[in-house]
Chains A and B, each alone.
Chain A
Amino acid sequence: MKTALVTGAGRGIGLATAQALSAAGLRVIGLDLGFPRGSNGATYVLEDLEGIPALVESLGAIDVLVNNAGVQTAVSIERYTEEARRRILRVNLEAPVELIRALSKQMIERKSGRIVNLASVAAFTAHTDLWYGVTKAGVVSFTRSFASYLGPHGIQVNAVAPGPVETELLRKAQPERISS
């Protein structure tokens, strides 16, 4: 049985992805800051970059990595705090890179693995949250770089770039963009 690691699996796109992969027969390990009562997953704060190699080591064999976890504050650049900037760079950009770096070692040994990163339409357009757009443009960049580094080892690295999706991230940051 294949195993998938999904970050930000407690809500939104991460939760839906964990459910879809589970329905497809995979064992899914979900990571998040916390999980709603009744659901399972491992609690981890992705701002802790230094802890990522040990985290990956503790999880055993992983065949599929979905780098989904992301934050957005959607305040203007004039109002951005240093703390918020540091957090978004760590969670959206540096943590997924560190996860790929740590996990790709075992994938290279097995000569197989699939990695899916969450970019965003914000990578290609102007965005209210400047740093969100910057981090998502970075996801596009490292997706292509890691594909070139890891492709020769039998590992696929791709990304999806969603537009606005009805999630807690969008509800909190830009409620005016939600419509059904």
Chain B
Amino acid sequence: MRNAYTRRTGRPEEIAEAIRWLALDAPVVLNGAVIDVTDGCYLR
């Protein structure tokens, strides 16, 4: 993963944390959003 900032592949639990936040804690005005959890892997 030379393009990722951490230089490694993501871990399932790291993606799950973003999902958990959207499912439980994200503010009600957050709707129709697509949140990148890509570690910057396609930004350069």
Give the docked Cα–Cα distance between A116 and B35 (Å).
10
**Which residues A133-179 have CB closer than 8 A to chain B?**
140, 143-144, 147-148, 151, 156-167, 170, 177-179
A160 near B19: Cβ-Cβ < 8 Å: yes
A140 near B7: Cβ-Cβ < 8 Å: no
User: Which A residues are in CB contact (< 8 Å) with B19?
Assistant: 13, 17, 20, 66, 68, 116, 118, 160
User: Which B residues are in CB contact (< 8 Å) with A114?
Assistant: 22-24, 26
B15 near A165: Cβ-Cβ < 8 Å: yes
User: Which B residues are in CB contact (< 8 Å) with A26?
Assistant: 24
Type the 1/0 row for B1-40, where 1 means its CB is closer than 8 Å to any CB of A. Answer: 1001001111111111111101110101011111111110
Q: Is A180 an interface residue (CB 8 A)?
A: yes
Q: A13-B16, A17-B20, A114-B24 are in contact. Are A160 and B8 (CB under 8 A)?
A: no
A179 near B16: Cβ-Cβ < 8 Å: no
From residue A88, how far is it (CB to closest CB) to chain B in Å? 20
Of B1, B16, B22, B39, most buried by chain A (CB within 10 Å of CB) is B16
- Which one of A46-54, A75-83, A119-127 contacts B? A119-127
Query: What residues make up the interface of A, taking CB atoms closer than 8 Å to B?
Result: 4, 12-13, 15-17, 19-21, 24, 26, 64, 66, 68, 114, 116, 118-119, 121, 123-125, 140, 143-144, 147-148, 151, 156-167, 170, 177-180
Query: What residues make up the interface of B, taking CB atoms closer than 8 Å to A?
Result: 1, 4, 7-20, 22-24, 26, 28, 30-39, 41-42
Query: Could you list some 14 contacts between A and B, CB below 8 A?
Result: A13-B16, A20-B16, A20-B19, A21-B23, A64-B23, A144-B32, A147-B32, A160-B22, A162-B37, A163-B38, A163-B41, A164-B41, A165-B10, A179-B9
